[in-house]
């Protein structure tokens, strides 16, 4: 690990945390990911080899711990790692307020759908198994269709048809749904101006914006 050669606590912390992807791995652990494949879904552009390397570095630093549960490797944050929650939240809030512009390279359907899956208000969904399909315009065919299913209080997302009856469909550009999820624009505006098309029975079309909601970032105040 490279060093800054400074006694400053900020410099010492950054010797660990400013390695590429490290803080995003911590973000995923803070959001509930505990297994290697779940972590990969939260950082889909990170190679498995580099993820493994970063997990080892964080374990050596005492930020995370590794355990075996029923033969499956699990990762969790130590008290040291949990203290980074405030750091990650502050960086996220600052990023929303001051680094708002999204380039095409920032748009990733895999990360977007994974983030939606883990934070949707499941309690607002019907008690019976319900599936909403997503169609992204202007996205490569292999990543343009997704299915989000809620059943028994659990949400799952697939990039292949799971074979369940679809209650309703959301069709839009990847950028538009990303901006809605971040809170840059609202559901009502996007549906009204036609940038989002909802299909299905009328009650489902009305419910989809509530079923999906927005990320926690949407509540962060923006500069005038």
Position 182 confidence tier, pLDDT thresholds 50, 70, 90: very high
Question: How many angstroms separate the CA atoms of 217 and 22, rounded?
Answer: 21
Which whole number is the average pLDDT over 174-195?
96
| Cα–Cα distances in angstroms (integers) from residue 147 to residues 4, 97, 110, 207, 209, in the given order | 46, 31, 12, 16, 16
Phi, psi of 221 (to 5 degrees): -60, 140
| Cα–Cα distances in angstroms (integers) from residue 38 to residues 65, 94, 110, 141, 175, in the given order | 16, 26, 12, 24, 24
The rounded percent of the chain whose pLDDT value lies above 90 is 91
pLDDT at 137 over 90: yes
So what's the pLDDT on residue 2?
78
So what's the pLDDT on residue 1?
63
Stretch (H or E) spanning 179: helix 174-182
Domains recognised in the chain with CATH numbers: 9-98 (1.10.10.10), 104-212 (3.30.1050.10)
CB environment 53-89: b (16+ within 10 A), e (fewer): ebbebbeebebbeeeeeeeeeebebeeebeebeeebe
So what's the pLDDT on residue 64?
98
Position 3 confidence tier, pLDDT thresholds 50, 70, 90: confident
Name the residue among 79, 68, 85 with its Cα closest to residue 34: 68
- Please state the pTM of the whole predicted model: 0.89
pLDDT at 144 over 70: yes
């Amino acid at each position: 690990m490279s060093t800054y050669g400074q006694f400053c606590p900020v410099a010492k912390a950054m010797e660990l945390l400013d390695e590429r992807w490290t803080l995003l791995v911590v973000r995923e652990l803070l959001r509930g990911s505990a297994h290697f494949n779940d972590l990969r879904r939260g950082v889909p552009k990170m190679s498995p080899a580099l993820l493994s390397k970063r997990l080892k570095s964080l374990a050596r630093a005492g930020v995370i711990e590794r355990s075996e549960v029923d033969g499956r490797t699990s990762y969790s944050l130590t008290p040291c790692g949990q203290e980074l929650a405030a750091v990650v939240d502050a960086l996220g809030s600052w990023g929303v307020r001051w680094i708002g512009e999204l380039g095409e390279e920032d748009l990733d359907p895999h990360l977007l759908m994974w983030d939606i899956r883990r934070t949707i208000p499941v309690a607002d969904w019907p008690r019976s198994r319900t599936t909403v399909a997503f169609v992204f315009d202007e996205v490569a065919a292999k990543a343009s269709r997704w299915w989000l299913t809620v059943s028994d209080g659990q949400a799952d997302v697939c990039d292949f048809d799971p074979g369940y009856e679809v209650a309703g469909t959301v069709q839009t550009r990847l950028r538009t749904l990303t901006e809605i999820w971040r809170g840059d624009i609202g559901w009502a505006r996007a549906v009204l101006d036609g940038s989002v098309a909802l299909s299905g029975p009328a009650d489902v079309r009305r419910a989809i914006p509530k079923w999906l909601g927005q990320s926690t970032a949407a509540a962060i105040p923006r500069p005038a």
